[in-house]
């Protein structure tokens, strides 16, 4: 699953501490940006969970439907049946002109 492959969690981002230096970034700006990233991660994780649940539900629906329906068969269709249908179609399309 995708969420299992993600290396960071929202908690990891929240708890991340950065070392400061003389010309470092403003901690307030970093914190605001990390807050946005955390919200996106939480939204992404929630969306993944919902899609995985929907995927499982749809797979079960397909499985249930395939159990209820017998597989289509072509048994009983022979060349004779096909020729008979073709003859009936010609009679319907051409009518009495065919035999005049």
Q: DSSP secondary structure string, 37-61?
A: HHHHHHHHHHHHHHHHHHHHHHHHH
Question: Does residue 100 surpass a pLDDT of 60?
Answer: no
Please answer whether residues 3 and 48 qualify as being in contact, where contact means their C-beta atoms are separated by less than 8 angstroms.
yes
Mean pLDDT for the chain overall: 82
Q: What's the total number of domains in the chain?
A: 1
Instruction: Please tell me the number of Cα atoms within 13 Å of 31 on its side-chain side.
Output: 4
For residues 2 and 37, what is the distance between their CA atoms, to the nearest angstrom? 18
Tell me the per-residue pLDDT of 76-86, one tens digit each, with 9 for 90 and over.
Answer: 678 888 888 88
Please answer whether residues 27 and 20 qualify as being in contact, where contact means their C-beta atoms are separated by less than 8 angstroms.
yes
- Average pLDDT rounded to a whole number, residues 3-27: 79
Question: Does residue 1 surpass a pLDDT of 60?
Answer: no
Residue 65 belongs to domain spanning = 2-99
Q: Which pTM does this prediction carry? A: 0.51
């Amino acid at each position: 699953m995708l969420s299992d492959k993600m290396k960071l969690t929202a908690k990891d981002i929240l708890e991340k501490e950065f070392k400061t230096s003389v010309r470092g970034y403003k901690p307030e700006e970093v914190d605001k940006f990390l807050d946005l990233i955390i919200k996106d991660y939480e939204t992404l994780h929630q969306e993944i969970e919902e899609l995985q649940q929907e995927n499982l539900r749809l797979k079960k629906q397909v499985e249930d439907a395939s159990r209820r329906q017998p597989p289509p068969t072509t048994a009983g269709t022979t060349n004779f049946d096909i020729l008979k249908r073709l003859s009936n179609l010609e009679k319907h399309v051409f009518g009495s002109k065919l035999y005049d």
